[in-house]
Amino acid sequence: MSTLSSEADVRTQQVPGKVLIFSMAAASGISVANIYYNQPMLGVIGESFTSSGVVSLIPTVTQLGYALGLLLLVPLGDKFDRRRLIVWQFWLLALASAFAALSTSAFALLSASLLIGFGATAAQQIVPAAAALADAKQRGAIVGTVMSGLLSGILLSRTIAGLVAESAGWREMFWLSVPLALAGAWAMGRMLPASLSNQTVRYRELMRSLVTLWQGERALRKATLIQALLFASFSAFWSVLALYLESGRFHMGAAAAGLFGVIGVVGIFAAPLAGRLADRAGSRPVVIAGSLLTLLSWGIFIGFDSIIGLIIGVVLLDLGVQSALIANQHVIYGLGEAARGRINTVFMGGMFLGGAAGSSVAMAAWHQGGWLMVGGLASVLAIVALLAAMMNPQKA
C-alpha cells in the first residue's frame, strides 16, 4: 500500500477553467525560461566583462540555483499556501533579473544568476498546484496543458534571448524578464485559489521525507528513471544541434538552432492529447509510445541526414518526451495528494539531473565521434527507457 494513502489536502477550489489553466501554462513557461536566457548570450556578455572564465560559469550557476530551489523551496508547497509561495518566487525572479541587468561585474552577474535559478522553480510549484486543482479523471489533460507551457518556455527561451541580445543587448533581455515575472506574480496571485494543508510537519521532516518517498514508492522510482533517460536523450540533441548545423554538413549559423526550438513547439502543443489518453487508458501505454517516438526520432536524425529529417525528428522527439512526461506525472501525482510538492521535487530533480548528464555526455560524444556517436548514445538511452516502461506493468 502507498505510504501516502492516509494523507489528504484540505482544498476549497473548484474544477479549473480554461483561462486559469492557460494562465498557469503561460506562467510556468515564463518562469522556467529564465534558466535558459543566458545560454545564447554568453558571447555578448563576455564582451562586457574581462572575466571570461567566470562568465562561462553563468549557465552552471543558474542550474545550481534551480536545483537548490527544487530541493529547498518546492517541498514547502506541501506545508504552506502554494499561491503565496508562487507569487513570492516571481517577485524574487523580478528582483534577481533587475540585479542581473544592473550588474557591473561578472561576479555580481553570477550571484544574480544563482537567485534567478532559485526563483525559477516557481514553475515547479505551479505544476503540482495544477494537479491538485483537477480530479483524477481530468488530471492528465490539465497537467499536460500546463507542462506544454513549461516546455515551450524551455524551447523558445534561447530563441527569444538570442534575438533580443543581438538586436538590443544582453542587459535588455534581463530587463524584459522583469515585467514578465511581475505579470506572472500578478496573474497567479489573482487567479489561483488558496491552498490549505492539514500538515504540521517541520521543515527538517519535509526534507527527510524525500528519502522516504524514494524508498517507499516504487512507481515514483520507475517514473523518475524513465523520464531521466528520455530527458537525457532530449538534452543530447539540443546540446549539440548548433554545432551540427554549423558543421561542414550544413554551414548554418546558431540562429538556425533557435528556429528549431520554434519548430519543436509543434510537437509540444500536440502533447496534451497524451494527458487525455493517460486519463482514459492508463499511463503505461502512453509512456511506451513516448519512448518509441523518441527512439524513432533518432532513427530519422541518423537515417535522413537532411534539414527535412531534422524538422520531422524534432517534432517527434518533443512529442515523445512530452507525452511520456505527462503520463509519468499522471502516475506520480496519483500517489498522494499531501506530498505532491515533495514528489515533484524527487521526480523533476531526477529528470533535470538526467538532462544535465545527457548534455555533458553528448558533448563528449560529439568531440569523439560526431553526430553518429551522439545519435547512438541517445538511441541507447531511449531503448533503456522503453525497456523499463515495458517491464513489470503497474496500475496507473
- Nine-digit cell string for 225: 528513471
CB 193 within 8 Å of CB 348: no
Domain ends where: 140, 166, 200? Answer: 200
258 or 300: whose pLDDT is higher?
A: 300
Match 489536502 to its residue by C-alpha cell. Answer: 9
* Average pLDDT value for residue range 360-372: 90
57 lies in the same domain as 77:
yes
Yes or no: say if 20 and 191 are a contact pair by the CB < 8 Å rule. Answer: yes
Which CATH number covers residue 143? 1.20.1250.20
Q: Confirm whether 45 is domain-assigned.
A: yes
pLDDT tens-digit series, residues 117-133: 999 999 999 988 888 88
Q: Are residues 279 and 348 in the same domain?
A: yes
* 293 and 173 in a common domain: no
User: Would you state the pLDDT for residue 122?
Assistant: 94
- Does 254 share its domain with 139? no
Residue that has been written with the C-alpha cell 549539440 in this structure: 240
Residue 4 lies in a domain: no
The verdict on 258 and 279 lying in the same domain is: yes
Last residue of a domain, one of 200, 234, 269: 200
pLDDT number for residue 34: 96
- Which value, in Å, is the radius of gyration of the alpha carbons in the chain? 20
Same domain, 281 and 192: no
C-alpha cell at 24: 498557469
Residue 72 lies in a domain: yes
Closest alpha carbon to 178 in 129, 123, 112:
112
**Pair (52, 167) in one structural domain:** yes
Tens digits of per-residue pLDDT, 31-75? Answer: 999 998 987 887 788 888 877 677 778 887 888 899 889 888 988
Do 191 and 209 sit in the same domain of this protein? no
Closest CA to 14 of 144, 130, 146, 133: 133
Cα 132–Cα 133–Cα 136 angle in degrees, nearest 5: 70
* Single residue among 172, 200, 228 that ends a domain in this structure: 200
Number of domains observed in the structure of the chain: 2
**Domain enclosing residue 305, as ranges:** 202-391
Q: For the whole model, what pTM was predicted?
A: 0.80
374 part of a folded domain = yes
Report the distance separating Cα 321 and Cα 313, nearest Å: 12
pLDDT digits (tens, 9 = 90+) for 148-207: 898 889 888 988 988 888 889 899 999 999 999 999 999 999 998 877 555 667 778 888
Residue 315, Cβ density class (10 Å: 0-12 exposed, 13-18 middle, ≥19 buried) = buried
